[in-house]
Structure 1
Amino acid sequence: MDFYRHLFTNDGPGKAISFTLVYIISIIFTFQSLVTAYVGSTYLEQFIRPEFVGLVFAVSAFLAIIITLLLPRILRTIGNVAATISMMLTIMFMLTIVGSAPSPTITIIAFIIYTALFPQIYFNVDIFLETLIGDAEGSTGSKRGLILTLMSLAAFCSPIAMGYIIGDTDNLAGVYFVSAAIGFLFIGVLIAKFRNFYDPEYVTIRVRDLVKAAFVNRDVSTVMFTQFLLQIFYTWAIIYIPLFLATVVGFDWETISKIIAVGLLAFVIFEYPTGVLADKLIGEKEMMALGFVVLAIASASIYAMSSSSIATWMSVMFFSRFGASLVEVTTESYFFKQVKGRDSNLISLFRLTRPLGILVGTLVASISLFFVPFNLAFIVLALLMVLGAFSTLRLTDSR
């Protein structure tokens, strides 16, 4: 098929893809990845003791870092489409193993592999999107705001689907089989519509040079740090908040799925308008700072919450995701106004903040939980978000 041409030559015009196609694969992949995300920590507790759950995620994050660093070399060899399909096939196979759970050891290894590969797909989608945007930096915020809004719509639907699949029987394994099946749809779209995609030139340099190049520009290094802090929040939101709701507050998974879904609705509502405002009116810096303040308040409020009211928890989750939506769109928009699709190394480093955030986030959480009660650990998260708010002061205002 046409996407194999990258194994032999980099010549040829290729056929254009469209933003619509990138939006479609983004929606499919977001739903696929998040339908399993919130049950991972609880599912692992069937095979290992709770205190080792964070260690599994940390190992997966470390593996993801290694893969991310190697990815530009892979892209130069086989191209973005072939690399994406290969990783998705591996993810589908690992998801099936996790759902089948042949043994604790095999299940945990498969869990580590698929969670390490999922972040790489985001990088591949970025290559498609940035190649389309090209030099049109003025539309970066709105384009990224739209794609994040559509991904958020899929994210909103994923916990609802998760709750339906799990049902009253606590069938956690079922979500892994569903996620694997969705992979066929993702691959089908890639083969049908992306097989003639012509890759930009990927320039591979040493990690030392890559980091040095990023930190020469203070704005780039600062926005990478804020993205890193956001990924720490997401780590806690995906791993520890559902675990807190299930084990401390005592909600069942059907209730938890509804609380998560209401929280994710904030992304659907706010991300696209935030991207447009970043392009045309306010700029990223101010909204990014506001987002971190909201995240700090929301995280600290979990410490003080003793209520088991579903409405109260929905409100807190919605408020926290409102803050996260501000930070997510503005960090993405600000960073990608500095780079192009060919800057795969800088994009790799930016996307490296995802596994780094998981690695550091799980380690910080594990250490915190060793010394303080579960609810008090969220004060630590709030302090990290305060650090994010102050970090935005180093950015050059884009307006």
Structure 2
Amino acid sequence: MNGKWRSGRLDRLGSSIFAEVGAWKEEARAKGLDVISLDIGTPASPPAEEVRSALAAAALEPDRYRYPGSHGSARFRDAVRRWFLRRFGVELDSEREVLSLMGTQDGLAHLALAVTDPGDAALLPDPGYPVYQAGLAVAGVETIPLPLLEENGYLPDFGAVPEAVWTKTKFMLLNYPSNPLSAVAGRDFFAEAVDVARRRRVLLVHDNAYSELAFDGFRPPSVLEIPGAKDVAIEFHSLSKSFHMAGARIGFAVGNPDVLGALLKLKDNIDFGVFLAVQEAAAAALELDMADPRPASVLYERHKDRFVRALREEGWEVSPPKATMFVWTRVPAGWTSRGFARALLEAEGVALIPGNAFGERGEGYVRMALVEPEERLIEAAGRIGRFLRERSPERASEGTARD
């Protein structure tokens, strides 16, 4: 495209690794390969029948086609209030402390525009989901990496953040359970994070999109469970993964009413909210979860157990994730993240995401999504095993391994 019609902001976004891997997959298919997609975390299952029925019925109502409003329908926000109380034991004011979103990505991408000014800074997890940095780039906000290291359980060391960084930081973003790391955090950690935010006078933003996808009996907490958290924190939730509503594009933010009010004011000027029939379906999903829980975590836990066991049988010692729909693991010796991902796709048709797409500290790792049917996951593990046997570490220094 001619640069005359292209904003310089786009250059600050970086490349979309998901689109790039998508292009790799098309190349592989063009060569006749059967591609197994472990790259995108798109749920393969549809929402529950009750949820789809609620959507269909609402879509037939003639009054559902008016502008919905950015705040969210009273019905949806009240369902969020009731679900949040049941799930986390936290009381919310549905008028001031709940805001509907077109998925959490919508809220996260627009947050910096609502609460910062150019020249401000924000602390972002490294590795972390790419949309975090994209929102800051558009807003002209400086990104400061918050290192997440395997040896620390992928939890940040707040004490290692320099004083000068805290002085210019407007908000810090955390994400547990984590995409891409699959790491989890407990109440003690969130109590520390809330205390740090209060003392440092920064907004604490928690992306809790995977709160319902944890394994082995663990129930991820909300940061709002910590007394006084609403004074300094907001939290994002999604219906995409836990309720299989990814294509419906709906989520919500809860917490500090001043911050949510700022985000609402921005959204009032750039969109008119989520289709009312989708909000009706989302309310039905939350109500169904309260009355008859069918946790998606059961499906992904089974996928996790089978896939990790199959990879280990193939000789790749992968640690099982504690939550989410992803496996985050080191690449075999001798490979870079990108080199391994591309060579594996070219040779065996298995697509995954190189870890450095999620930040500098993601180099040396890859992320694999557990979204394919079990038989395809087992087949993917077999193809990966064959690739590892046929591609020695010595060859990893050749060709695409150096990408």
The interval holding the TM-score normalised by the smaller chain is under 0.3
Larger RCO (CA under 8 A, 6+ residues apart): 1
Scaled by the length of structure 2, the TM-score of the pair is: 0.27
Richer in strand (by share): 2
Richer in helix (by share): 1
Scaled by the length of structure 1, the TM-score of the pair is: 0.27
Flag the structure with larger Rg.
2
